[in-house]
Amino acid sequence: MTEEAPALEIRDVSHWFGDFRVLNHIDLRIEAGQIVALVGPSGCGKSTLLKAILGTHPPREGEVLVGGEPVRGPNRNVGIVYQNYSLFDFLTAEKNVAFGLKLDQSSLPFRIFQYPRWRKLRAEQMRMAREYLRRVHLAEACGKYPHELSGGMRQRVAIAQALILKPKIVLLDEPFGALDEATRESLQLMLLHFYQENLQAIQRGEVPEYTILIVTHELNEAIYVANRVVGLSRYHDQAEKGAMIVYDRPCPIFSPDDPRDVAQFIEQREELRRAVFDPNYIKHHQKYVTFWKELADQESSVGNPAIDNAN
């Protein structure tokens, strides 16, 4: 694989509103192909951090780089899906998915004055939209309008809409929060499929396609869908300065066919509860920030676990 810049690099980012300090010296590096869950108490600054990454609300201090490029405003390298994403009601699923490509690849004068070329381009965009709907397991819904889709199906369309622009990273802000349990589980499985595809791409020497930062308040979900959990919290030894990353550890990798055995999550869930959510447990902010060290230890003892897992 060619040497790629990290999908996301947050360098010493701090943010505050008036006197209220929200984010305190946040550093975070996410490599292409990682699926990272971000958890933390309500109001700790998760959405503020996502807005800094998205470029809509730059941080007061520090820098965000996506694919090695400093983020100066919203750009196509970062996609986002919210809990209640509203699709365009008057467009079918495939036209909703193709919408970003249309804006990105053609202007109105081009569409009017170069109609034959536009038709050809449009046919290719619609082919891509169908391909991305297939990736989110919605091939059969191409021609349906949002009101004909369930909440879970609409979220799949929203995710396809973000992915089709091939962003370096997709941010999911509590994307499954409004869904019932069974629907939520089927969307979690979709993320596990994406991770397996990433592992296969790495094995082929390609850059993996799906890099995801998912905010969730469901700790089981975080451990299940992600290969890494990051905890943001102000319950640490410099609390007055704002939230810091107080937890950053790998988590077990499940394949979509594995039984969902919640018992396997218990230990890490309890550790997360204590390290990130317990206001009475004040520790050094880096006590559980060990992801890169643990990864290096794993690789030196058993070869590359990511590649081993893809077999």
Chain residues in the site for ligand ATP (CB under 6 A)? 17, 22, 40, 42-48
CA–CA separation, 51 and 56 (whole Å): 6
Partner from ligand ATP, Mg ion, none binding residue 44, C-beta < 5-8 Å depending on class:
ligand ATP
Identity of the residue numbered 260: R
Applying CB under 5 A, does 83 fall inside the site for Mg ion? Answer: no
Which is closer to ligand ATP, CB of 151 or CB of 177? Answer: 177
- For residue 11, the minimal CB distance to ligand ATP (Å) is 19
CA–CA separation, 82 and 172 (whole Å): 6
Candidates 44-52, 184-192, 287-295, 303-311 — which segment interacts with Mg ion by CB under 5 A?
Answer: 44-52
| H or E element that contains 197 | helix 181-203
Helix, strand, coil shares, percent, the chain, to 5: 45, 20, 35
- For residue 225, the minimal CB distance to ligand ATP (Å) is 18
Residue 251 DSSP class: -
SS3 state of residue 117? helix
- For residue 283, the minimal CB distance to ligand ATP (Å) is 20
- For residue 278, the minimal CB distance to ligand ATP (Å) is 16
Which is closer to ligand ATP, CB of 43 or CB of 143? Answer: 43
SS3 state of residue 56? coil
Partner from Mg ion, ligand ATP, none binding residue 175, C-beta < 5-8 Å depending on class:
none
Handedness of CA 57, 58, 60, 64 (dihedral sign): positive
Nearest by Cα to 60 from 196, 200, 241: 241
Q: Which of residues 45-74 bind Mg ion (CB under 5 A)?
A: 46-47
CA–CA separation, 285 and 16 (whole Å): 19
- For residue 40, the minimal CB distance to ligand ATP (Å) is 6
Which is closer to ligand ATP, CB of 80 or CB of 126? Answer: 80
Partner from Mg ion, ligand ATP, none binding residue 43, C-beta < 5-8 Å depending on class:
ligand ATP
SS3 state of residue 220? helix
Q: Which two tokens stand for residue 104?
A: 């990105």
Which is closer to Mg ion, CB of 138 or CB of 232? Answer: 232
Nearest by Cα to 197 from 185, 183, 182, 207: 207
Partner from ligand ATP, Mg ion, none binding residue 45, C-beta < 5-8 Å depending on class:
ligand ATP
Partner from ligand ATP, Mg ion, none binding residue 74, C-beta < 5-8 Å depending on class:
none
Which is closer to ligand ATP, CB of 39 or CB of 170? Answer: 39
Tell me which residues touch Mg ion (CB under 5 A): 46-47
